[in-house]
Structure 1
């Protein structure tokens, strides 16, 4: 896409600080070198730039090194849905492997760098490196698990529970990447968050206000400080439904 640039000087897979979350995890030094050999120099996107466009032909997977992206999918009814939030260590493009078409516009939410894995070369390399194939399957499995969890969340939870689950999921993702699990910056707006969670912008605002009033979190702009992870977890684990009275009323 126009405006994308590449950085020729970058850390190899074996020395990348996100290696434990990426495809190189568990590979020997020699195997990691073979993976390095098929990866072009990292891409750099500025805020608002497209990585790929919906319905483009699928040719590569991408790993987020720094920054963040969102995926926006336009449905047959012309509805725009935020269908993914990608943070450092996340893989982009798994949902395009089967159809060989990109599922939605992938847009940088801030300055972002990514590693590209040309899929034809990656697939061939997986045939020679069982450890790489297992790692790819593990990442695919995790992506499916997270998507099923999000679907369950959208179908069965009230707004406050959806938001608590979302914030805890983001918290855990930052923790896995070596960042603070309690204090982080969310790159998406409240409107985008609502779209992602199946809520209106107004509902997100009211719910955040209520959670702050209960001293579960503090929000300043897009900076989130989770004040009580234990109570947030209890809220996330609740059904989010009103209990029926025993007398049937």
Structure 2
């Protein structure tokens, strides 16, 4: 007799979206097979987005959360003068759209960085299933909490003085996310432009390009356009801590 709850292999699901898009919500929660199938039934067919296509715009009505199935997206805000501030980059398996939970309207915009596909989770149906499956509700709260933590980390990163530490922290955070998604955390693909990275970090693009070159010279990275291999994760971690150590030394 099959146990009520097992370690899930999402590849057993018949729906093509289930094996990827529900990874964040299902695998860590230990949801039983029957409940997983109920969740899987809420997923709409995947949507394809060409590079530069918008998933949603500021002011759009909130109907669903989205899981990146392939490719990548960026979320950003834009003021009346047209100035853009990038808020986050989103990788396969990650969920976006939480910005609209408070007001039922999106307060940011989401754009595909490359040809991408997303799976849609209609929020009303997701809420219904989550209310009936406590493990799913807990996991959904964990995912939302992680989004808040990432926003705080971004604010702290932009307030730091050392540009090298900012870029190192960005790359290490990306590596950590790769590891969480069971991808090679030393082979990073950067679908975003150098301008996007600079905007996200609050730097100028020339500084970002110079820092990549410097980190290559130090033996930390190997950079080939949008492909970055982390050669020395220990040195990368040390660069993330360098500014904090310097400040403690100055304070002493």
TM range (shorter): 0.7 to 0.9
TM-score when normalising by structure 1: 0.88
Unaligned runs of 5+ in 1: 1-8
Alignment of 1:150 with 2:162, yes or no, is no
For residue 57 of structure 1, report the CA deviation from its aligned partner. 1.1
Q: CA offsets, 1:97-149, max 9 Å, x none?
A: 11222122211111212111111111122221211111110101111111111
Between the aligned partners of 1:31 and 1:123, the Cα distance in structure 2 is 13
Shift of the alpha carbon at 1:12?
Answer: 5.3
Q: Deviations over 1:173-198 (max 9, x none)?
A: 11222221111210000000000111
Cα RMSD between the aligned structures? Answer: 2.0
Task: Tell me if 1:193 matches 2:191.
Answer: no
Kindly state the Cα deviation for residue 154 of structure 1 after the two structures are TM-superposed. 1.2
Q: Tell whether the 8 Å contact from 2:57 to 2:110 is kept in structure 1 after alignment.
A: yes
8 Å contact kept, 1:18–1:177: no
Say if 2:87 is the partner of 1:89: no
Inter-partner Cα distance in structure 2 for 1:32 and 1:18: 12
Range moving further from structure 2, 16-25 or 189-198: 16-25
Aligned partner of residue 225 in structure 1, secondary structure? strand
2:58/2:106 contact within 8 Å kept: yes
Task: Select which of 3, 21, 25 maps to 1:22.
Answer: 25
Q: TM-score, length-normalised on structure 2?
A: 0.87
1:211 aligned partner? 215
Higher helix share: 2
Q: Structure 1 residue 161: deviation in Å?
A: 0.2
Deviation at 1:158, TM superposition (A): 0.9
CA distance in 2, matches of 1:60, 1:20: 17
Runs of 5+ consecutive residues of structure 2 not aligned to the other structure: 1-13
Of 232, 237, 247, which aligns to 2:236?
232
C-alpha separation in 1, matches of 2:185 and 2:41 = 34
- The aligned length equals 236
Deviation >6 Å, runs of 4+: none
Partner of 1:62: 66
Q: What is the CA–CA distance in structure 1 between the aligned matches of 2:17 and 2:205, rounded to whole Å?
A: 41
Partner of 1:4: none
Secondary structure of the residue aligned to 1:82 is: strand
Distance 1:99 1:160 in 2: 37
Which SS does the other structure have where 1:135 is aligned? helix
Aligned-partner Cα distance in 2 for 1:228–1:93: 34
Residue 181 (structure 2) aligned to one of 173, 177, 183: 177
The separation in 2 between residues aligned to 1:245 and 1:129, in whole angstroms, is 51
Q: How do 1:4-153 and structure 2 match up within 5 A?
A: 10-11=15-16, 13=18, 16-17=19-20, 19-23=22-26, 25-75=29-79, 78-153=82-157
